[in-house]
A and B are shown apart, each in its own frame.
Chain A
Amino acid sequence: MDAVWGAVTKLYGEVGASLTGLSMINCDSARKVFVVRTSLATLSSVRASLATITSVAGVQASVHVLVVSGTLKALFSNF
C-alpha cells in the first residue's frame, strides 16, 4: 500500500491524495492481488497513479487494474 500511496502522492501531492479516500480492503499475497477502495470522483486519478508504479520496496514491479466495481459483492462475483 506504501507504493500506491507513494505513486498517488508523487502525482497529485498530499492534498490530491487526501481527496482519493484510498484504503486497502483485502490483500491476497499468494495470488498477488489486492483490493483498494477509492472514491468514484478520483477513480481516473488513482488508475493513472497505479499505472506509474514501476517498483515496490525497491524491486521492479508493475501494478495492473484487473476489475473496477461499485460494490464488493459484484467485485468478488466477477473476479
Chain B
Amino acid sequence: MKRTFADLHLRVNPKDHDATQRLINKAAKFGYHFVSVPFAAEFSESQLVDLKNACSQAGLDFVSRADFKPRNQEDLMRFLRKFRRKLEVICIICDDKEIARQAAKDRRVDLLNFPSLDYHRRFFDRAEAELASCSQTALEVDIKPLMIMEGPPRVRLLSSLRREVAIAREFHIPIVVSSGVGEEHLMRMPRNLASVAYLFGLNETEALDAVSTNPIAIIVQNWEKMSSAFIAPGISVLKEGQDP
C-alpha cells in the first residue's frame, strides 16, 4: 500500500504569506499529504483559514497545530482547556522537568518536543516514557538541528536522541519525525527525512512510520475526538433517538 506522508512541523511565520506559500508548494512537490504550521498561544481564525486555503490550492491537507512552552502547570492546563477542542494537534515544548512530566501525563497532549541540545535539559527518561505510554503521547524529533550542526554538538545530540528512541521503543511510544525547518533548502523528501532517523537508531520501517503512520494516526484520532459525535475515549454517538 502506498504510504501517505506528513510533516507536522514547518517552522514558518504564518503572517509571512510568501514564505509560507513557498514552503507549502515545496512540500506538495516533495510528496507530502499533510503539513502543519504551528501556532503559538495566540492565533486568529483568519490565519487558519488562509493556511487551509493555501494548502488546498497546493493539493495538501493542512493540520492545525499549536506549540506551547508553558511557564508552569497552571499555564499548561489553561492552554489545554483553551485550545484542545479548537486545534488538531497539540505539542508541548518541554524545557522544564515539571512541565515535561505534567504534559506526559495529560491525554490531551499529542506531542512532546524536547528542543534543548543540552543533555541535562532533555527530560525524556524512563519515568517520562512510562507516563507518556499511559496517556498515548508521542515523542516528536525535529531533524533540523542534525542538518545544521556539526562536530561535537551533533555527536552529543545524536547520542541523546539514540537513548531517547531506545526508551520510546521500550515503552511503545510512537515517534514522530518532523523537519522543524523554515527554509526551503533544508526541506527534504519524506523518504530522505526518514533516512536521517537511521542516524539515531530507527530501522527503515520505523523511520517511515515516523513520517507517515504515526503522525497520521494522531491526526485521525483527533479528527474523531473533534467530531460532534465524540463523547469520551471509546464512547461516541452512533444514532440519536427521540423520547417516545
- Hey, which bits of chain A sit against chain B, CB under 8 A? 10-11, 44-45, 47-48, 50-52, 54, 60-62, 64-65
Question: Can you identify 19 A-B contacts, CB atoms within 8 angstroms?
Answer: A10-B150, A11-B199, A44-B204, A45-B198, A47-B192, A47-B198, A48-B196, A50-B192, A50-B195, A51-B188, A51-B192, A52-B147, A52-B196, A54-B147, A54-B185, A54-B186, A60-B185, A64-B188, A65-B189
Minimal beta-carbon separation of B141 from chain A (angstroms): 14
Contact at A44–B198, with CB atoms within 8 Å? yes
Q: Which residue of B lies closest to A50 (CB)?
A: B192
- Give Cα distance in the complex from A45 to B200, angstroms: 11
Indicate if B35 sits at the interface (CB-CB under 8 A): no
Minimal beta-carbon separation of B139 from chain A (angstroms): 19
Minimal beta-carbon separation of A33 from chain B (angstroms): 14
In the complex, which range does the number of interface residues on chain B fall in?
10 to 19
Chain A residues near B192 (CB, 8 Å)? 47, 50-51, 64-65
Contact at B196–A51, with CB atoms within 8 Å? yes
Chain B residues near A62 (CB, 8 Å)? 185-188
Top 10 closest pairs, chain A to chain B, by CB? A47-B195, A60-B185, A51-B192, A44-B198, A51-B196, A48-B198, A48-B195, A48-B199, A62-B185, A64-B189
Chain B residues near A10 (CB, 8 Å)? 150
Q: Which residue of B lies closest to A64 (CB)?
A: B189
- Give Cα distance in the complex from A62 to B188, angstroms: 8
- Hey, which bits of chain B sit against chain A, CB under 8 A? 143, 146-148, 150, 185-189, 191-193, 195-196, 198-199, 204
A-B interface contact total, Cβ < 8 Å: 42
Chain B residues near A54 (CB, 8 Å)? 147-148, 185-186
Q: Which residue of A lies closest to B183 (CB)?
A: A60
Given contacts A51-B147, A52-B147, contact A44 B187 (CB under 8 A): no
Chain B residues near A47 (CB, 8 Å)? 192, 195, 198
Chain B residues near A52 (CB, 8 Å)? 146-147, 196
Contact at A65–B186, with CB atoms within 8 Å? no
Chain A residues near B195 (CB, 8 Å)? 44, 47-48, 50-51, 65
Q: Which residue of A lies closest to B200 (CB)?
A: A48
Minimal beta-carbon separation of B145 from chain A (angstroms): 11
- Give Cα distance in the complex from A66 to B196, angstroms: 15
Q: Apart from A48-B199, A54-B147, what 16 extra A-B contacts exist at CB < 8 Å?
A: A44-B198, A47-B192, A48-B195, A48-B198, A50-B192, A51-B143, A51-B147, A51-B192, A54-B148, A54-B186, A60-B185, A62-B185, A62-B186, A62-B188, A65-B192, A65-B195
